Structures are given as C-alpha cells and as structure tokens.
Structure 1
Amino acid sequence: MSNVAARRAASAGLLNIGERPLLQQAAAVFAGTIALAIASQIAVPMIPVPVTMQTFAVTMIGALYGWRLGFVTVLAWLGEAALGLPVLANGASTAAFFGPTAGYLASFPIVAALTGWLAQRGWNGRNVGLAFGAMLVGNALCLAVGGLWLAALIGFEKAMLVGVVPFILGGVLKSALGAAVLKALPGRWTTSAR
C-alpha cells in the first residue's frame, strides 16, 4: 500500500466512509447529522446546560467515520443549527451559540476528530479499554471547553458546580456505552497507519 493510500485508509474510520465515493460520503454526513439531531432530543433538562446524548453521538461519529469525516459531520450539524433548523437540544435556537452551551457546541467537532483519531490508532473496538479511554478523553475535552466558556459567563466555581461536575458521571457512562457498542460491532478494526 502506498503512503497516500495508507493515509486515506487511516482517516476512513470503521465504516471506511472516507474511501467511498463523494456522494456516499455526503449521504453519511447527512445521516450523521440526523443521528446527532435525534441524540440531541434525548435530554434531561438541567440549568444552564441540559444532559443529552449529544456527546455519545459525537464520539461515536468520530470513531465510526474517522477523524476527518467525523469533524465534517459535526460541523455540518452545527451549520444546520446555525441556519435555524431545530437540531439542538430542546430545539434550541441560534442563541445557543452565544449562551451557556456555546463552549460545549464549539468543542464537538474537535471531540469527534480527537475520538476518531484515537480510534484509528487502535483505541477502538479491538481493545475495549482503549475504546473507553478514547470516548472518555472526548467527553473530558467537551467538559473542559464547555466549562471554560461557562466560567467566563458565570465564574469558575459556579461553572464547575453546574456545568462540569454534574456531567462527569454521565460522561463516564456514555464512554462505557460507546466502548461497548464499538466492541459489539463486527470486527473491521485495523491496525491503522500512524
């Protein structure tokens, strides 16, 4: 395999979408944005930030699609939200990009890319412990960025109390669920190029 082919394969993710024709990649991005919109509606209302399945969907899209297409998919979903489509939690408006949830939303494309990058390097369904680690790192990054943004709005201590600490257990549980799903998927994991 040439270096170019190895790099393409390494960014394809479990589903090898990055190696498929452009139309299939576009369809996968669209399907991913629908999955994210649905995951956004699975929510437990909390103030100022609701608990949703968004981070689960974001990390799974990264692991399944690969870092590049995962990043693009989450960015497309945010683009849909910016256009006013009701794809965010509780049908939130574009005001979500400036309010308490903005940091979490901004972190999502990076979280998908990081999780996908780790999965492509062996932190995937082949090793459930590493898959859990990849998901947990993604969830932690989301909480860190979201918490920092929230701290700028309401102060560090309050942001940690209402925007980070209540979500730690959920992040651990979503990471465990993500790792279990990756482990249960058919074994197409490769030892991807570094």
Structure 2
Amino acid sequence: MNKWTTRGLIFSALFAGVMIAMSYLKFTLPFSAVPITLQTLAVMLAGSILGARYGTLAILIVIGLAAAGFPVMGGQGGLAVLVGPTAGYIFSMPFAALFIGWCAQRMKQNKYTFFKLAGVNLIFGVLLVYPGGVSWLAHSVPGIDTVSKALTAGMWPFLPGDIVKSLLGASVAAAVWRVYPIERILNSDTGGWGSQEETPASR
C-alpha cells in the first residue's frame, strides 16, 4: 500500500474546505427536513480527483469537524447534526467518495472518460447515498411512516438535481485530469492502492 503523502494530505484538507463552502449553498424545501446543497457534488469531486484514500479522508475531516462542534455543515455542527434527519446521508458520503475514488484510480483517460465518470458518480455518488439517507430520515422524522412518504421527503425531489451534479462533477474532474492527472495526487505510476512509489526513472 502506498504511503500517505504530504501532497495528498494537503489536497484532502483543501477539498474538505470545498465541501464546507458548498454546504452553505443550500435552500430548504417546505415538505422535507433535507435541504438541497452542493455537498454531494463536493463528494463526487473529492473521490474522482483525489482518489479513494484522500477523497474519503476529505469527507471524514468534515464529519470530524462537525462532531467537534464546528459549523461545517451548512452553518451547523455538533453531534446533533450527526444524529439528525440528514445523518444517513452524511455517513453515506465517505463510502461514496471511497468507491468513486476506487473506480477513478483505475480508469484510463480516453474519449469516454466523461461518460465513465458520470456513471460512477451516479451509481456511487447518488444511488448509493439514498438508501441510508432515506431510511434514517424515515426513522428520525415523525410522520414518515410509509415508503412513499420517505421517498417523497428524501429522494424524488433531489434526484434530478443529483443527476445534474453527477454530470457536472464528471465534466470538472475530466477537465482537471487533463492538466493534473490523479496519479500526481497518489504519487504513483498506476494510481492503484498497491502500486509502487513514483521514482525519477519511472516518470
């Protein structure tokens, strides 16, 4: 397994800041306890640009700061946020970044890069997050006592926007890859978790 690198840790901290900033861009729906934010876009970008290890770390940094009481979740923080109605979505995000990053590390850049990233974002950045998020929402909010109500409050209104985010995230990541490949973050030849550290002879 690759060693942790200073470069990767710095980028993880930077993307944690990006996620915090994006969490402030939100608006609420009158029929749901779940706000619409750009946090899921930040998760997609973290995974696809930083890879599995550092992308996941970026999300865990934000969750850790929230647990410590810092207002990093749309101006809110503390343990109450991590057990509130949106907790299921929050704790699904590190797994989303992990799987997006795992796939991104193994992608070859070609004319289909955008479509591959968009598919990975949709599967892991959107569809993976909903089961835990909607289930916890139904558990924690009184009155959500049917599957239909749970989906209306926690999935259907957000799905179109999340699809757009998956496309936008893929577009941004593909553009970043052209000038700053993911291998530079990982400091490795192949970008895999088990690859050797890059040496001058291998560049």
TM-score norm. by structure 1 comes to 0.82
8 Å CA contact 2:50–2:101 kept in 1: the answer is yes
**CA 1:98–1:160: 2 relative to 1, 3 Å:** same
Tell me by how many angstroms 1:150 deviates: 1.3
Alignment of 1:2-151 (within 5 A): 8=2, 21-22=5-6, 24-46=7-29, 47-122=32-107, 127-137=113-123, 138-151=125-138
Q: Which amino acid aligns with 2:80?
A: A
Query: 1:177 is matched with which residue?
Result: 168
Q: Which amino acid aligns with 1:128?
A: F
Q: Between the two proteins, what is the percent identity of the paired residues?
A: 32
Query: 1:16 is matched with which residue?
Result: none
TM-score norm. by structure 2 comes to 0.78
Structure 2 residue runs without a partner (length 5+): 184-189, 194-203
Q: Which amino acid aligns with 2:12?
A: V
Number of equivalences: 177
C-alpha separation between the residues in 2 aligned to 1:75 and 1:20?
Answer: 16
Aligned-partner SS, 1:45: coil
Runs of 4+ in 1 over 6 A off after TM superposition: none
C-alpha separation between the residues in 2 aligned to 1:157 and 1:133?
Answer: 26
Query: 2:152 is matched with which residue?
Result: 161
C-alpha separation between the residues in 1 aligned to 2:129 and 2:108?
Answer: 18
**CA 1:189–1:87: 2 relative to 1, 3 Å:** closer
The structure with the largest alpha-carbon Rg is 2
Aligned-partner SS, 2:128: helix
Taking only aligned residues, the RMSD between alpha carbons, in angstroms, comes to 2.3
Alignment deviations for residues 114-173 of structure 1 (CA, whole Å, 9 cap, x no partner): 111111121878611111001111211112210111122333322111111111101100
8 Å CA contact 2:47–2:101 kept in 1: the answer is yes
More helix by share: 1
Aligned-partner SS, 2:70: coil
**CA 1:184–1:27: 2 relative to 1, 3 Å:** closer
**CA 1:124–1:32: 2 relative to 1, 3 Å:** farther
C-alpha separation between the residues in 1 aligned to 2:113 and 2:50?
Answer: 18
Structure 1 residue runs without a partner (length 5+): 1-6, 9-18
Aligned-partner SS, 2:107: coil
